[in-house]
Amino acid sequence: MRRRDFLKKAGIGVAASAAFGPVFAQASPSVRWRLASSFPKSLDTIYGAAEVLAERVSALTGGRFQIRPYQAGEIVPGLQVMDAVQQGTVEVGHTASYYYVGKAQVLAFDTAVPFGLTARQQNAWMYHGGGIELFRPIFADFGIIQFPGGNTGVQMGGWFRKEIKGVADLRGLKMRIPGPGGQVMSRLGVVPQVLAGGDIYPALERGVVDAAEWVGPYDDEKLGFYKVAKFYYYPGWHEPGPMLSFYVNLREWGRLPKEYQQAFEVAAAEANQWMMAKYDRLNAPALQRLIRAGVRLRKWPADVMRAAQKAAFDWYEEEAAKDATYRKVFTAWKAFREEQYRWFGVAELGYEQFAFPAV
């Protein structure tokens, strides 16, 4: 599919691209924004989406609209990006919405929930299934407008110091696992911890946590988890397709010329696709390197998967019963999920079960 067609189908305005050029650059104001990321610069793919956004916005506006990314901790800590955008400390942030479920549990659906949507399905829901439209008023209450900003694809289940042979082995473990995954793990007896990416390795090394999940082989290798925990579990049922988001301060968004808004939307859509493609390229060889380094790859026991799935949907129903906004999003999401699972079960899974070798 041609790039222009993809952007049209994604619901992103591209008409402005024809107007970008010397005349546009001369007639438009100079805008300088700061972007706070939740991620360290060393994680070049998850952090890199913010750089892609900034580079493309500049190119599409003849250099008149500049966004400067800052890694976690340079302006605010990684888990305070939403607050920074709300308060106007920065104009834009790059983060994961499930970091902020303390503000509203429904925000998790903007990222990922256990046994939810894959990356492709999340994009389908956001761009064509009503997801963006559902979330715009929710984020507006926080003074933010949100845009899809990347996806890691299905993650790994995490690093453990000891082998997990069943649900009983999880009880009492301290594990770095944020958001809905942490909620579900807590129902299985785990004590969840929320730590930013740069804080995980020292906590695992010192025994502050017994286990930790982050993203997948490429980033996990960079952070060195295999040096202090040898059991590596899959699949990441807690995050089957976690989407990152670009948060923009709503007041600042309203001040942008329409052409700049379109440039931002186009650049965000490109960054969203870029991240997933890069992770797909890099995770495969990284996993092989980890195995050669002595990592013990393990599939989650079936009883853990069954218990986690039941705990997840019991919890969703409980939240939906007490929160009307959550119920509205969950009801739409669940119907979309069921439809998607039927289709992917026929097409994608039917092919993969034949074509992909066993691990």
Q: What is the pLDDT of residue 239?
A: 96
Looking at 211-301, list the stretches that DSSP marks H as alpha helix, in order from N- to C-terminal side. Answer: 217-223, 250-255, 258-292
Task: Tell me the binding residues for substrate.
Answer: 155, 176, 213, 239
Tokens 């190119």, residue located: 59
Please give the model's pTM, rounded to 2 decimal places: 0.89
Q: CA distances (Å), 309 to each of 27, 59, 188, 304, 315, in order?
A: 55, 45, 11, 8, 10
Distance CA 96, CA 324 (A): 23
Provide the 10 A C-beta neighbour count for residue 120: 15
Q: What is the pLDDT of residue 40?
A: 92
3-class SS of residue 61? coil
Tokens of 303: 């009883």
Task: Tell me the binding residues for Na(+).
Answer: 214
What does DSSP say about strands 144-151 and 243-249: parallel, antiparallel, or unpaired?
antiparallel
| Mean pLDDT rounded to a whole number for the chain | 92
Reply yes or no on domain 31-151+241-281 having CATH 3.40.190.170: yes
- Percent over 90 (pLDDT), the chain: 89
Task: Tell me the binding residues.
Answer: 155, 176, 213-214, 239
> Using alpha carbons only, how large is the chain's radius of gyration in Å?
20
pLDDT at 8 over 80: no
Distance CA 182, CA 2 (A): 40
Per-residue pLDDT tens for 130-168? Answer: 999 999 999 999 999 999 999 999 999 999 999 999 999
- According to DSSP, the residues that pair with 36 across neighbouring strands are 70, 93
Q: What is the pLDDT of residue 359?
A: 60
CA nearest neighbour of 282 among 217, 227, 234: 217
Mean pLDDT over 81-101 rounds to 97
Q: What is the pLDDT of residue 21?
A: 45
Distance CA 108, CA 120 (A): 17
**Amino acid type, 319:** E
